[in-house]
Amino acid sequence: MTVVSMTVNGKSVSADVEARTLLVHYIREALGLTGTHVGCDTSQCGACVVHVNGRAVKSCAMLAGQAEGAEVVTVEGLARDGELHPVQKAFREHHGLQCGFCTPGMIMTAVDMIRRKPQLDEQTVRDELEGNICRCTGYHNIVKAILAASEEMR
Amino acid sequence: MSDLSEQGVGKPVRRKEDFRFITGNGHYTDDISRPHQTHGYFLRSPHAHAKIRSIDTKAVLAAPGVLAIFTGKDIAADKLGGLICGWTVHSKDGSAMKVGPHPVLALDTVRYVGDHVALVVAETHEEAKSAAELIEVDYEELPAIVSLADCEKPGAPQVHPEAPHNICFEWELGNKAETEAAFARATKVVKIDLVNNRLIPNAMEPRAAIGEYDKGTGGYTLHTTSQNPHVARLVLSAFVGVAPEHKLRVIAPDVGGGFGSKIFIYAEETACVWAAAKVGRPIKWTAERSESFMSDAHGRDHLSHAELALDANGKILGLRVKTIANLGAYLSTFSAAVPTYLYGTLLSGQYDIPAIYVEVDGVYTHTAPVDAYRGAGRPEATFLIERIVETAARETGLDPAEFRRRNFIRAFPHQTPVIMNYDAGNYDASLDKAMEIADVKGFAVRKAEAARRGKLRGLGYSTYIEACGIAPSAAVGSLGAGVGLWESAEVRVNPTGNVEVLTGSHSHGQGHETTFAQLVSSRLGIPIDQIEIVHGDTDKVQFGMGTYGSRSGAVGMSAIVKALDKVEAKAKKIAAHLMEAAVEDVVFQEGRFTVQGTDKSLAWAEVTLAAYTAHGFPSSEIEPGLKETSFYDPSNFTFPAGCHICEVEIDPETGVLDIANFVAVDDFGTIINPMIVEGQVHGGIAQGVGQALLELGVYDNDSGQLVTGSFMDYCMPRADNVPSFRLGFTKTECPSNPLGMKGCGEAGAIASPPAIINAITDALGIRDIEMPATPARIWKAIQSSRPRAAAE
C-alpha cells in the first residue's frame, strides 16, 4: 500500500491505496466523489475526464500515484460558491444530457476545450469530442451547449 | 398564472433532474456502497461451446480476501430456477417454441463466449478478479456455430438438444394463399436479400448490481441497473425463486441509459442477490465494458429475403418475407417476441398492402442472447419495407416519393393483414414537410455541383411507421405474452398541497421527473417544483411494467391522468362540502375550486389540508385523505409515423461518406415537452447512423470468439460521425389514449437506417450495400460497379 496525497477540488486529501490504483478509483472509492464515472476499460469513452493541473485527463489512464501532489478538479468542484459553471448551465439550458452518465466527462472536456480554443465552431467541437462517447443525445445538443457556453465565456 | 403556463404541457421546460447530473450528484448503482459490502466477479467461458468436465476451486478459497465461490452446482443444490423468456411463440404446426434451459451459472455446458461459470466473492474487486484466475476449469471444447446462414443446416453443431437444427420456432403471420394469389397476378415482382446487422447496445453506464440480505427480517434487497424493477422482482421471485415477492425489494436508482438492454433479467444480479444470503454481506458487481460486450443482450441480427408484387401502375399487391432471426445461445426475457410480434406485425409499413405473408425462423447460435434493442423488431421491419419499396420505385422508373404516395394508407382506422389496426395518421403530411425541409427540389443542382467537385451525392427516403404504447393486455396475451402490459400510477396529495406521483414507468434518460410533473402541473395548477415523481423502487411503487417500447407517455402518463381524474373528483367533493354547495356546481380551474355563479372559492391547498384535517366530513360520503391509484390498460397500440430524408456525399476515391443533411419529420401526436422529444429523436437517429454506417457485432466463424469486444473494435458513433439534425413535426392525435400521445423514444433508430442506405445506393447507382456501410465497403462497391473497360 502507498499513501497518495493531492489537492482535489481545493482540499488537501490523502489515502493509503494499492500501488496499482487508478486515479479514477482513488477519486471514486478513496474519496467518495462518485460524479466521475467509469464507462469502459480501454480509455475510449471519456466518462472519467477530470482536470489535473488544469488540463483534461482521462483518470482511468493514469495511476493515482502519478497525480501525487497535483491539483485535481472533478465535476463536483466545478461550481463555485453555489454558482454553476457556465458549461454546466449550458448543458441544462440546451438539453445536453439525457441519462447523465457521460455528462461529467463531457462537461470537464468542454471546460478544457473552451479554455484552449476560445474561438470554437461546430466542426472543431465535434473533432474535439472524439474522446467522449454519448449514447443518448446524438451529440446534437452537447455541441449546441458547448458552443453556447463558449460564446457566454468569451 | 403566467409563470405556471410556462411549465405545463407543450412547453420546453428545462429538466428537473439535470442539477444532480451536471454537478456529479447522481446515484447510479455503482455509486452506491452498502455497509460491509463485498465484491463479486464472474468467471466467464473463454469458449463458444464446451463441456465442463470439472471445476477446481481449492486455490481460490486460499487467495487473499476471498470469502466464497459459487458455481452452477451450488445454485442447482438450492433448487433455484433458470432465467426465463416471458413470451411464448408458436410454430406454424402449432407447437410451442423449443426452449433450452438457461441456468444462472452454467451447469455442465457453456454456450457462448462470456457465459457465466462461477461467482467469486472477495473483500475487493481486485481480489475477486485476481482469485478468479486461480479457478481451474477442465473444458472439453466442442464445435460451435455462430453463422446465421449455416446454423439450420444438417450437421451444424447443436446449441440445445431440445431444439433440433437449432430451430427454436418456425413462425408465420399473414395469409399465404392470398399472398400467393397476389404474386400470381403481379405484372412485376421485386426481390431483395437483406442483412440486418448485429448490434451491441452499449448504454454508457455498464450493468451493475448490489445484492443484500437482512438476517433479521429475512428480506432481500437488490439495487440493479434496470428499466423495469417490478418485472425483475416478479421474475426473481415467481420463476427463479430467490425469495418470495414480499421479501424482495428491487431498486433501480439513476440508470445510465438502457435502450432495451436493461429490460432483461440477467444472471449477474440474480447470482448476487442469491449469494448475499450465503455470504451474509452485501455483494456488489459492476460490469467492465468488456463484460458488457460479451454478456449484455445484443440486438437485430436478421437475414431476410423479401419479394414485392406490383401491378402495372406501381400499386403494391402483396409482400412475402422469409427471415432467419438470431436468438443467441439462450432465450432472453423478451427475445421470442422481438423478431415475431414486434417485427412481422409492422411489415405493412405506411402502405395499403392487401396481402402479406411472413415466415420467421428463430434460431439458436453460440453467441450472446439477442433481445430488444431500441426499436426492437420495428427497425428490422422498417429497414426491409423501406429498402424494398425504394428498390421497387427505382425499378419501375417512378420517383421514390411518388411511388410511396401511390401506396399510402389514407383512410383510418386501417386494418393491415398482419394484426395491426392503425388508428390515425397522415403520411402525405409528413412526407411533404420532410421534402420541404430537405429542399428536395434543389437536390439535382446540389448533385451536379458535387459532381463538379468529383463527389457523388445521393438522396434517400424512409417513410416509417412503428407500434408503440406497448401494450393492450388482451391483445398481447392472445399473442403469447406472459404478462399484461398496462401501467400503474398513484397520486399522493400531501396536506400542504404538494404532490407525489408514484409511477411504474422508469426513467433512465427520458426526463420523466420533468414531463410527468408538467402533466400534473397543467392539471392541478401547481408549480412543477411542488411535484415529485417517484419511480424505480418496489417498496415505494406497488407494481408497474417499466419503460421500453416508447410506452411511458402513452401508457404511463395515461395512468397518471386516470389517477388525477379520481383525485379531482374527490377534491371537488371535499370542496363542495366545505363551501356548502352541490358537487355538480364546483368547478376546478387553475388551482382553484369555485362554486359556479357565486364568488365562493377555495385554493387547492385549502382543500388538500381539509382533506386531512377532515373535521366534520359526512363520514358516509367522504373518507379523509387524498390519494388515488389507477391501473391503465390501453385499448390499442399507438402508431407514430413520419418521414426521414438523408442526403449523403461520397468521395469515390476513398469511400468516405459525409451526411450532408438529415431531416426527420415525425408525427408523435400530443407532445408534452418538445425539447425532450427532439432530444429523443436526435439520439435515435445517431443510433441509426451507427447501425447504417459504423456498428457491427462480429463473432469469428471458426473459433466463435467475439471479435468486437471493446470500444477499440466496435465502432460507436462519435460526435464527428454525425451532423446536426433538422427536425420537424406533424400532428394527428392518437385516439387510443386520453392524452393523444404516440411515443417518441425509438422512431429515430427505426426510421434512419433505410434513409441512409437508400441515399448511399442512390449516390452510387447500385442496388444494395450491406450495413454497416463503412468507407471500405463503399469503396469496394464503387470498384465493383465501375465499368472495367478503362482497365482492360
Q: Is B715 on the interface with A (CB under 8 A)?
A: no
Test A92 with B508 for CB contact under 8 angstroms: no
The pLDDT score that the predictor gives to residue B109 is 98
Q: Are B21 and A79 in contact (CB under 8 A)?
A: no
3-state secondary structure A116-148: HCCCCCHHHHHHHHHHCCCCCCCCHHHHHHHHH
- Please tell me which of the candidates B676, B719, B725 has its beta carbon nearest to residue A95: B676
The residues, ordered by sequence, that sit 6+ positions from B709 with a Cβ below 8 Å of its Cβ are B290, B293, B294
Q: Residues for chain B: how many in total?
A: 792
Q: What CATH number does domain B2-25+487-632 carry, 3.30.365.10, 3.90.226.10, 3.30.457.10, 3.20.20.60?
A: 3.30.365.10
C-beta atoms surrounding B414 within 10 Å? 17
- Strand pairing category for B456-465 and B641-650: antiparallel
By C-alpha distance, which of B637, B177, B173 is closest to B420? B637
C-beta atoms surrounding A69 within 10 Å? 9
- Report the Cα–Cα distance between both ends of chain B, in Å, rounded: 79
Test A129 with B724 for CB contact under 8 angstroms: no
> B interface mutation test: which of A26, A48, A101, A133 has the most B CBs within 10 A?
A101
Mean pLDDT of all residues in chain B? 96
The one-letter code for the residue type at B94 is G
Residue A91: φ, ψ to 5°: -60, -40
Q: Is B272 on the interface with A (CB under 8 A)?
A: no
The pLDDT score that the predictor gives to residue B790 is 47
- Domain extents in chain B: 2-25+487-632, 32-142+204-257+262-295, 302-471+636-785
Q: At what angle do helices A140-153 and A103-116 cross, to 10 degrees?
A: 40
By C-alpha distance, which of B501, B513, B525 is closest to B607? B525
The pLDDT score that the predictor gives to residue B788 is 59
What phi-psi label fits residue B649: left (phi over 0), alpha (psi between -120 and 50 degrees) or beta? Answer: beta
C-beta atoms surrounding A145 within 10 Å? 27
Q: Is the pLDDT of residue B561 over 60?
A: yes
% of chain B at pLDDT higher than 90: 95
- Band of pLDDT at residue B787, cut at 50, 70 and 90: low
Cα separations in angstroms, B509 against B100, B109, B254, B272, B449: 34, 38, 9, 26, 41
Q: Rounded to an integer, what distance in angstroms lies between the CA atom of residue A151 and that of residue A145? A: 10
Cα separations in angstroms, B642 against B128, B187, B673, B676: 51, 29, 19, 18
The pLDDT score that the predictor gives to residue B375 is 96
The residues, ordered by sequence, that sit 6+ positions from B520 with a Cβ below 8 Å of its Cβ are B491, B499, B501, B526, B528, B531, B560, B564
- Band of pLDDT at residue B480, cut at 50, 70 and 90: confident
Instruction: List alpha helices for B343-462, DSSP H.
Output: 378-396, 400-407, 427-437, 443-452
Q: Rounded to an integer, what distance in angstroms lies between the CA atom of residue B647 and that of residue B152? A: 39
Q: Rounded to an integer, what distance in angstroms lies between the CA atom of residue A49 and that of residue B410? A: 52
Burial grade of B95 (CB within 10 A; 0-12, 13-18, 19 or more): exposed
Residue A58: φ, ψ to 5°: -80, 110
What is the sign, positive or negative, of the torsion defined by CA atoms of B289, B295, B297, B301? positive
Test A45 with B711 for CB contact under 8 angstroms: yes
Min Cα separation B769/chain A (Å): 24
By C-alpha distance, which of B384, B287, B305, B390 is closest to B345? B384
Q: What does the angle CA B759 – CA B765 – CA B771 come to, to the nearest 5 degrees?
A: 50
Q: Are B76 and B156 in contact (CB under 8 A)?
A: no
- Band of pLDDT at residue B2, cut at 50, 70 and 90: very low
The one-letter code for the residue type at B330 is Y
Burial grade of B674 (CB within 10 A; 0-12, 13-18, 19 or more): middle
- Band of pLDDT at residue B549, cut at 50, 70 and 90: confident
Q: Which residues of chain A neighbour B508 with C-beta distances below 8 Å?
A: 99
Q: Is B202 on the interface with A (CB under 8 A)?
A: yes
- Band of pLDDT at residue B792, cut at 50, 70 and 90: very low
Q: What one-character-per-residue DSSP string does B519-566 give?
A: HHHHHH---GGGEEEE-SBTTTS-----S-TT-IIIIIIHHHHHHHHH
C-beta atoms surrounding B61 within 10 Å? 13
Test A99 with B203 for CB contact under 8 angstroms: yes
Min Cα separation A82/chain B (Å): 11
- Please tell me which of the candidates B205, B289, B718 has its beta carbon nearest to residue A129: B718
Instruction: State the average pLDDT over residues B516-526.
Output: 96
3-state secondary structure B222-263: EEECCCCHHHHHHHHHHHHCCCCHHHEEEECCECCCCCCCCC
Show which of residues 232-271 on chain B sit within 8 Å of chain A, judged by CB atoms.
Answer: 254-257, 259
- Please tell me which of the candidates B23, B289, B724 has its beta carbon nearest to residue A76: B23
Distance, C-alpha B44 to centroid of its chain: 26
Comparing B2-25+487-632 with B302-471+636-785, is the CATH topology the same? yes
Q: Are B307 and B320 in contact (CB under 8 A)?
A: yes
Q: Rounded to an integer, what distance in angstroms lies between the CA atom of residue B290 and that of residue B114? A: 9
- Please tell me which of the candidates A44, A47, A144 has its beta carbon nearest to residue B712: A44
Q: Is B682 on the interface with A (CB under 8 A)?
A: yes
The one-letter code for the residue type at A22 is L
Instruction: State the average pLDDT over residues A59-88.
Output: 97
- Band of pLDDT at residue B491, cut at 50, 70 and 90: very high
Q: Rounded to an integer, what distance in angstroms lies between the CA atom of residue B482 and that of residue B265? A: 15
Q: Which residues of chain A neighbour B678 with C-beta distances below 8 Å?
A: 95
Test B683 with A38 for CB contact under 8 angstroms: no
Our separate counts of H helices and E strands in chain B read 20, 28
Instruction: State the average pLDDT over residues B146-162.
Output: 97
CATH topology of domain B302-471+636-785: Aldehyde Oxidoreductase; domain 4 (3.30.365)
Q: Is the pLDDT of residue B398 over 90?
A: yes
What phi-psi label fits residue B529: left (phi over 0), alpha (psi between -120 and 50 degrees) or beta? Answer: alpha
Q: Is B725 on the interface with A (CB under 8 A)?
A: yes
Nearest chain B residue (CA) to A138: B683
Is CATH 3.90.1170.50 the classification given to domain B32-142+204-257+262-295?
yes
Q: Rounded to an integer, what distance in angstroms lies between the CA atom of residue B737 and that of residue B421? A: 15
- Strand pairing category for B499-503 and B487-493: antiparallel
pLDDT tens digits for range B22-42 = 999 999 999 999 999 999 999
Test A133 with B711 for CB contact under 8 angstroms: yes
Does ipTM surpass 0.85 in this model? yes
Q: What does the angle CA B163 – CA B169 – CA B175 come to, to the nearest 5 degrees?
A: 155
The residue to which cell 475510449 is assigned: A44
> B interface mutation test: which of A8, A76, A140, A144 has the most B CBs within 10 A?
A140
- Please tell me which of the candidates B14, B17, B718 has its beta carbon nearest to residue A93: B14
- Continuous segment of H or E residues that includes residue B321: strand B316-328
Q: Is the pLDDT of residue B85 over 90?
A: yes
pLDDT tens digits for range B769-785 = 999 999 999 999 999 98
- Please tell me which of the candidates B19, B24, B719 has its beta carbon nearest to residue A33: B24
C-beta atoms surrounding A107 within 10 Å? 30
- Continuous segment of H or E residues that includes residue B462: strand B456-465
Q: Is the pLDDT of residue B280 over 60?
A: yes
Q: Are A58 and A131 in contact (CB under 8 A)?
A: yes
Q: Which residues of chain A neighbour B510 with C-beta distances below 8 Å?
A: 98
CATH topology of domain A86-153: DNA polymerase; domain 1 (1.10.150)
* A-B Cβ pairs (cutoff 8 Å, strict): 176
Check residues B550 and B763 and name the one with the higher pLDDT: B763
pLDDT tens digits for range B171-203 = 999 999 999 999 999 999 999 999 999 999 999
Q: Is the pLDDT of residue B470 over 90?
A: no
Min Cα separation B351/chain A (Å): 30
Test B509 with A130 for CB contact under 8 angstroms: no
Burial B331-358 (b: 16+ CB within 10 A, else e): bbbbbbbbbbbbbbbbbbbbbbbbbbbb
- Strand pairing category for B627-632 and B487-493: antiparallel
> A interface mutation test: which of B21, B123, B292, B713 has the most A CBs within 10 A?
B21
Look at domain A2-77 and name its CATH class: alpha beta
Test A130 with B717 for CB contact under 8 angstroms: no
Q: Is the pLDDT of residue B510 over 90?
A: yes
Q: Cα-atom radius of gyration of chain A, to the nearest Å?
A: 15
pLDDT tens digits for range B654-701 = 999 999 999 999 999 999 999 999 999 999 999 999 999 999 999 999
Looking at residue B691, the DSSP 8-state letter turns out to be I
The one-letter code for the residue type at B493 is V
% of chain B at pLDDT higher than 70: 99
The pLDDT score that the predictor gives to residue B785 is 85
Mean pLDDT of all residues in chain A? 97
- Domain extents in chain A: 2-77, 86-153
By C-alpha distance, which of B414, B403, B719, B741 is closest to B559? B741
Q: Which residues of chain B neighbour A20 with C-beta distances below 8 Å?
A: 126
Q: At what angle do helices B604-613 and B558-578 cross, to 10 degrees?
A: 80
Q: Which residues of chain A neighbour B511 with C-beta distances below 8 Å?
A: 98
- Report the Cα–Cα distance between both ends of chain A, in Å, rounded: 45
The pLDDT score that the predictor gives to residue B484 is 85
Nearest chain A residue (CA) to B257: A99
The pLDDT score that the predictor gives to residue B550 is 86
Sheet with B586-589: list strands edge to edge: B586-589, B592-595, B601-603
Show which of residues 14-33 on chain B sit within 8 Å of chain A, judged by CB atoms.
Answer: 14-15, 17-28, 30-31
Output the CA torsion B7→B11→B16→B21 (10° steps): -160
Min Cα separation A24/chain B (Å): 13
Min Cα separation A69/chain B (Å): 23
